[in-house]
Amino acid sequence: MKYNIRGQRMEVTDALRDYVEKKLGRLERYFEATPQSDVQVTLAVTKGQHAIEVTIPLPGVLLRAEEKREDMYASVDFVVDKLERQIRKHKTKVNRKFRHTTTARLFKEEATGTNGVTTLVHDDEDELELVRTKRFAMKPMDVEEAILQMNMVGHNFYVFSNSDTKEVNVVYRRSDGKYGLIETAE
């Protein structure tokens, strides 16, 4: 993997660059062949918080994680842990659905049982379990009304039928306290 490490409102020292490359290099053990993608790493310091954002484009999946901590080295450690969990989750999902496709072969097998059946290693938090399904009628509304509805029910997101575009949209509360809108693309 090739690393594109840049700093926002800070200078990236050689020691920090080496640390980031070493830690992200740990992710290569999950792949049969080292991906030839460019890993985008952005380091920033804002209001005393050291943030790192990592984007790894892979065939069929985009891995992305960000972390904010009081120390940049701690941020790097935590973001690598997040990326490892994402890779294990994706690997488990892919291997469940497509046992013998090329996408499943993107990741190395972590362990093989005595009977030749692949055993996936995962934590309890990596289990993909659907515990509830909801159905509801979507009343057409504008974005502002959807935000008000979301706040009334106390959720971090709200699915609605946009009265302006006649499409299904999602409004969500961002980590900075502002709101975002997700629209479908054709």
Average pLDDT over residues 154-164: 90
Average pLDDT over residues 17-33: 87
* Confidence tier at 121 by pLDDT (50, 70, 90): very low
Q: What's domain 2-122's superfamily in CATH?
A: Ribosome hibernation promotion factor-like (3.30.160.100)
Where does residue 47 fall: left (phi above 0), alpha (psi -120 to 50 degrees), or beta otherwise? left
Query: Phi and psi (nearest 5°) for 69?
Result: -140, 175
38 neighbors 2 (Cβ within 8 angstroms) = yes
3-class state of residue 77 by DSSP? helix
Q: How many CB atoms lie within 10 A of CB 81?
A: 14
Amino acid letter, 173: R
H helices present in the chain, as ranges: 14-25, 72-97, 143-153
- Are β-strands 111-112 and 157-162 bridged in parallel, bridged antiparallel, or unpaired? unpaired
* Confidence tier at 28 by pLDDT (50, 70, 90): confident
Can you name the CATH fold of 140-183?
Answer: SHC Adaptor Protein (3.30.505)
85 neighbors 92 (Cβ within 8 angstroms) = no
Q: Report the percentage of the chain scoring pLDDT > 70.
A: 81
Mean pLDDT value across the chain: 80
* pTM, 2 dp: 0.55
Average pLDDT over residues 99-118: 46
**116, pLDDT greater than 50:** no
Question: Which pLDDT score, from 0 to 100, does residue 128 have?
Answer: 64
Which residues are paired to 65 by β-bridges? 54
User: Which CB contacts under 8 angstroms, 24+ apart, belong to 101-109?
Assistant: 103/59, 103/60, 105/32, 106/31, 106/32, 106/58, 106/59, 106/60, 107/30, 107/31, 107/32, 108/29, 108/30, 108/31, 108/32
Domain residue spans of the chain? 2-122, 140-183
Q: The tokens of 4 are what?
A: 């594109």
Q: How many CB atoms lie within 10 A of CB 52?
A: 25
Average pLDDT over residues 1-6: 90
Question: Which pLDDT score, from 0 to 100, does residue 168 have?
Answer: 92
Distance, in Å, from the CA atom of 19 to the CA atom of 13, rounded to the nearest integer, reads 10
**124, pLDDT greater than 60:** no
- In this predicted model, which residue has the larger pLDDT, 86 or 107? 86
- In this predicted model, which residue has the larger pLDDT, 143 or 186? 143
**91, pLDDT greater than 50:** yes
Average pLDDT over residues 114-124: 41
Question: Which pLDDT score, from 0 to 100, does residue 181 have?
Answer: 95
